[in-house]
Amino acid sequence: MAKNVVIVGGGHNGLVCACYLAKAGFSVTVLERRDILGGAAVTEEFHPGFRNSVASYTVSLLHPQVIDDLQLHSHGLEILERPINNFLPLPDDNSLTSFPDPVAMQTEVARFSRKDSNQLPVFHDALDSVVQVLKDLMTEIPPKLHGGNIGDLWSLFRVSKKFNRLSLDEKQHLLRLFSSSAGELLDDEFESDPLKALIGFDSIVGHFASPYQSGSAYVLLHHVLGEVNGKPGRWGHARGGMGSITGAMAAQAAALGVQMVTDASVSAIKTDNGKVTCVELKSGESIPANIVVSNVNPKLLFLDLLEEQDVSSTTTEHFRRYKCQSGTFRMNVALSELPRFTAMTPENALTGGIILAPDLDYMDMAYRDALDYGYSRKPVVEMLIPSLVDDSLAPAGAHVASLFCQQFNPNLGSGWKDQKAAAADAIISTVTKYAPNFRSSIIGSKVLSPFDLETEFGLVGGDIFHGRLSLDQLFSARPMLGSGQYATEITNLYMCGAGTHPGGGVSGLPGYNAARKIISDH
């Protein structure tokens, strides 16, 4: 008889885990609190006639094996490549454009610094030399460094072999990427402020910190691990928005016999003698389970869904201190016309990520501002206009834009109700400074503060990664030493969300790895 698995949370990792488990013969039920599957990877109409990826918003980290194994393309998934990677307008009306073609990119950088133009391929080669090792590690179940067995020793040996492939210089570079700040790294490599800003932006995405804080270099590295349509380092849009990804996953899950239930808010996971027994819903219904898989933030699992007596005091204290703090503010806007930037704007520049943060000092000040005032009065803004590559999202002649903004203090909690309007205005003012028609072109919007991201999508502290990407919360320590292998101290209770290895982003790998662990155990 097939073992009954209940997955709490219908985000993309929960759906991925469900598909692999169903394919292996498990009987799987997915419970989703909202009225739509997909978690933060959803497409919604936020203004009449305008649809957008309202939370997660772009594609790069979605793993090709997950795409192939779940037959996502056969379920309608189409990933459209961005012709331009990024576009950085500058206050002096100059601009820096990140072209996918390396020769064109070097030519562009040479306008600012011949030295940096020559250094750029050296920098990318150094990154590429360690990226493949990290990509390999992303599909590994981390070894258990506390309370492990002979299998964990073997796993540790396999991991060490991967690192031993690196030269001494490559190992030293990797150590810097894991431990140093992006600002320090980039200051050592380049002299041009715009180039450092263009690259350094990735170090603060979803990371409530200055680019000069230790650990920010790894956040940068995390964002360069992806690919689109087999092309490393590229970014794209799912046609129809991010909901097309989770829609394709749900279609595959249905084909495999997975039962998916929406409007099913879980109130508790029940145990008996240290083993899961059932999942209780807020409606009062109790669903028996041989295995429970949590696809929610680990803080929610250990502090809200489990009884305190079911969890060791060490675990409880760990998750009280577990850091979730993105500092992210999200806006979706319906536009009557495209923004007209005063900066030099090459062809197709607006199809890329439009980064409004001219240098690393600006990013540093945005963070310090958020500490002092709750939100940055001059925020870091990334604007994407997906309707330029996907005309299904807006009426003819109109557009939708995603504004993914940093730094906004997640520790304000419900205090964001009083700050939200002022923060949104600061964002609009920042964009309008570069594109004077922007404010007047807005005909509708959906605004999500860090508190809104928490209450609507379960992103504690507005954290898009379900936990800070710092060395103490990575690999075998994600989300905790002894529980970094998707299993918990409670028998048959597992985790498959972004709070587990390899972390956040729409990759599907936490769900994939967790399913492999569960299949191996059972």
pLDDT, one tens digit per residue, over 21-34 is 999 999 999 999 99
Distance CA 459, CA 447 (A): 15
Question: Residue 8 domain-assigned?
Answer: yes
Q: How many residues does the chain have?
A: 522
Residues 50/468, Cβ–Cβ less than 8 Å: no
Question: Residue 455 domain-assigned?
Answer: no
Average pLDDT over residues 281-286: 97
pLDDT, one tens digit per residue, over 114-130 is 999 999 999 999 888 88
Distance CA 450, CA 150 (A): 43
CB 145: neighbour CB atoms within 10 A?
A: 15
pLDDT score at 285:
96
Q: Can you point out the beta strands (E) in 396-459? A: 399-408, 442-448
Distance CA 6, CA 492 (A): 11
pLDDT score at 149:
63
Residues 130/177, Cβ–Cβ less than 8 Å: yes
pLDDT score at 135:
86
Q: Does position 148 have pLDDT exceeding 70, yes or no?
A: no
Token pair for residue 405?
Answer: 């903004």
Q: Does position 427 have pLDDT exceeding 80, yes or no?
A: yes
Residue 321, Cβ density class (10 Å: 0-12 exposed, 13-18 middle, ≥19 buried): exposed
- The average confidence (pLDDT) of the chain is 93
Give 90's DSSP letter: -
Distance CA 268, CA 265 (A): 9
Average pLDDT over residues 267-273: 97
Q: Does position 155 have pLDDT exceeding 70, yes or no?
A: no
Owning domain of residue 296:
4-41+59-76+240-323+468-521
pLDDT score at 340:
98
Q: Does position 47 have pLDDT exceeding 80, yes or no?
A: yes
pLDDT score at 278:
97
Distance CA 51, CA 461 (A): 26
Count of domains for the chain: 1
Question: Residue 189 domain-assigned?
Answer: no
Q: Does position 157 have pLDDT exceeding 60, yes or no?
A: no
Distance CA 371, CA 20 (A): 43
Distance CA 206, CA 470 (A): 12
The distance of Cα 11 from the centroid of its chain, to the nearest Å, equals 12
Looking up residue 502, the CATH number of its domain turns out to be 3.50.50.60
To the nearest 10 degrees (0 to 180), the angle between helices 114-138 and 168-179 is 90
**How, if at all, do strands 4-8 and 27-31 pair?**
parallel
pLDDT, one tens digit per residue, over 428-462 is 999 999 999 999 999 999 999 999 999 999 999 99
Q: Does position 105 have pLDDT exceeding 90, yes or no?
A: yes
pLDDT score at 312:
96
Distance CA 450, CA 448 (A): 7
Average pLDDT over residues 6-13: 98
**How, if at all, do strands 375-384 and 493-495 pair?**
unpaired
Rg of the chain in Å (alpha carbons): 22
Question: Residue 166 domain-assigned?
Answer: no
* Confidence (pTM): 0.94
Question: Residue 280 domain-assigned?
Answer: yes
Token pair for residue 384?
Answer: 């994407």
Distance CA 35, CA 49 (A): 20
Distance CA 214, CA 427 (A): 27
Question: Residue 95 domain-assigned?
Answer: no
**Amino acid at position 198, single letter:** L
Question: Residue 164 domain-assigned?
Answer: no
Q: Does position 90 have pLDDT exceeding 80, yes or no?
A: yes
Q: Can you point out the beta strands (E) in 137-201? A: none
Question: Residue 448 domain-assigned?
Answer: no
To the nearest 10 degrees (0 to 180), the angle between helices 150-164 and 114-138 is 160
- The band of 1, judged by pLDDT with boundaries at 50, 70 and 90, is low
Least confident of 6-20, 224-238, 332-346, 444-458: 224-238
State percent of the chain over pLDDT 70.
Answer: 97
pLDDT score at 167:
83
- Which residues on neighbouring strands pair with residue 384, listed in sequence order? 402
Residues 464/341, Cβ–Cβ less than 8 Å: no
Distance CA 128, CA 415 (A): 43
Q: Does position 508 have pLDDT exceeding 80, yes or no?
A: yes
Residues 279/286, Cβ–Cβ less than 8 Å: yes
Residue 397, Cβ density class (10 Å: 0-12 exposed, 13-18 middle, ≥19 buried): exposed
pLDDT score at 44:
96
- The band of 146, judged by pLDDT with boundaries at 50, 70 and 90, is low
pLDDT score at 60:
86
What 3-state class would DSSP assign to 245? helix
- Which residues on neighbouring strands pair with residue 79, listed in sequence order? 238
Distance CA 397, CA 387 (A): 10
User: Terminus-to-terminus CA distance in the chain, angstroms?
Assistant: 12
Q: Does position 154 have pLDDT exceeding 60, yes or no?
A: no
Going by C-alpha positions, the residue among 458, 465, 452, 472 that lies closest to residue 504 is 465
Q: Can you give 449-478 as a three-state secondary structure string?
A: CHHHHHHHHCCHHHCCCCCCCCHHHCHHHC
Q: What is the dihedral of CA 356, 508, 66, 260, to 10 degrees?
A: -120
The distance of Cα 149 from the centroid of its chain, to the nearest Å, equals 32
pLDDT score at 171:
82
Residues 437/337, Cβ–Cβ less than 8 Å: yes
Task: Look at 228 and 410; give whichever has higher pLDDT.
Answer: 410
**How, if at all, do strands 86-89 and 275-281 pair?**
unpaired
Would the CA dihedral through 154, 171, 218, 229 be positive or negative?
Answer: negative
What 3-state class would DSSP assign to 193? helix
